[in-house]
Chain A
Amino acid sequence: MTPRGRIGAWLAMIAIVGGSALAADPPPVARPPAAPSPALEARLKNLETELRCLVCQNQTLADSNADLAGDLRREVRELALAGRNDAEIRDYLVARYGDFVLYDPPLKRTTWLLWFGPFVLLLGGGVVWWQVLQRRQRASASAPTHDSAAEARARALLEDEPPASSPARDATARAAPRRKR
């Protein structure tokens, strides 16, 4: 085989392999029965992690070893092979087991509290926080400002303090207020 011929053969092979890989991808809307394929497995895996096992309630259908979880996985697979899309499979299970099978609860009237409750609480907390801030600001604004007369009186009291029994104590008593300023 000439070098050029070899390259041509390689190109042909890549084209064939690449082409078949593309062909194996199922069409985005799987109406006709879906053939077992890695893509279907990935889709089922993904779907099963969104569904709750009814028996062991904190596990997904994918994680659970419960007998019912196995049956439901089989059911989901059969529905997928029959060409139903993910939404239809979810509806199928919700019709039988209720919204509880979904790990992601749907937004409807009965779940408003669930969805919006945290934001309402956050908003309420924000309002309270803002009010407290406002009140503090008002309080500090209306607080008496520097009262020089009072300070002079305090200083006089400190200066005229009778000498304490221990000199060390006396020193700290005198130093403390000054250090503060």
Chain B
Amino acid sequence: MTGSSTKLLRWSIPLAVFVVLLAFLWVGLGRDPREIPSPLIGKPAPAFQLVQLHDPGKTLATSDLKGKVWLLNVWASWCVSCRVEHPLLLQLAKTNAVPVYGLDYKDKADDALAWLAQHGNPYTASIVDSDGKVGIDYGVYGVPETFLIDKAGVVRYKQIGPLTIEALQQKILPLVRQLQQ
């Protein structure tokens, strides 16, 4: 090894290590630590049979939705960021692109009904998870959350936090169209 190549190594190796470290930190900056990848993606959606919010005499079960592509939106009347995504859900409901089912998570039925009456009801049907058990089955930890479930009842996508136009246009709706075929 000649002297000049040793010198080159002497500064290029630490520089390379530094650049790699910088790259890791840079990527880390852009990641949201609150977004925990769901282990449910690609797995059958946990089964439930729950009472409907608007008609407590009736229930809705995952088995009723077999053969459909549907969204499960976990929300609550006490959830502040649910208000952020709500206009988007109302718009989505108008397009009839995909049925949205609302899971009213750890909420009082009266509060939930009043909330929907005030803000508008985008849901094909709403079901009540008053003790949060179904929420635990779905790995819900931050309301709102939205799951996309295919015809076979497999979870295909999970949105943590409020829905955004970008998420809908770039991920959810293309995936819906693909799954509906």
Q: What is the bound-complex CA distance between A99 and B142, given in angstroms?
A: 17
Interface size class of A (residues with CB under 8 A): 10 to 19
**CB atoms of A55 and B142 under 8 A apart:** yes
Is the beta-carbon distance between A72 and B136 smaller than 8 angstroms?
yes
Task: Specify the chain B residue showing the minimal Cβ separation from A99.
Answer: B39
Across-interface contacts of B37 in A (CB, < 8 A): 98
With A71-B136, A75-B136 in contact, do A94 and B39 touch (Cβ < 8 Å)? yes
| Interface band, chain B | 10 to 19
Write the A115-152 contact mask toward B (1 if CB under 8 angstroms, else 0).
00000000000000000000000000000000000000
Closest B residue, CB atoms, query A128:
B13
In the bound assembly, the distance between CA atoms of A72 and B36 in angstroms comes to: 17
**Interchain nearest-CB distance for B5 vs A (Å):** 14
Beyond A67-B106, A68-B141, A97-B141, whether A54 also contacts B136 by CB under 8 A is no
B141 and A55 contacting across the interface, CB-CB below 8 Å:
yes
Which listed residue, A55, A71, A96, touches B40 by the CB 8 Å rule?
A96
Q: Name the residue among A57, A67, A100 with the largest chain B CB count within 10 angstroms.
A: A100
Q: Chain A interface mostly helix, strand, loop or mixed?
A: helix
Query: Does the CB pair A57–B132 fall under 8 Å?
Result: no
The complex places the Cα of A57 from the Cα of B32 at a distance, in Å, of: 12
Q: Check A157 for interface membership: any CB of B closer than 8 A.
A: no
Pick the contact of A57: B34, B106, B137 (CB < 8 A): B34
Most buried by A among B33, B133, B139: B139
* Most chain B beta-carbon neighbours within 10 Å: one of A71, A96, A98: A96
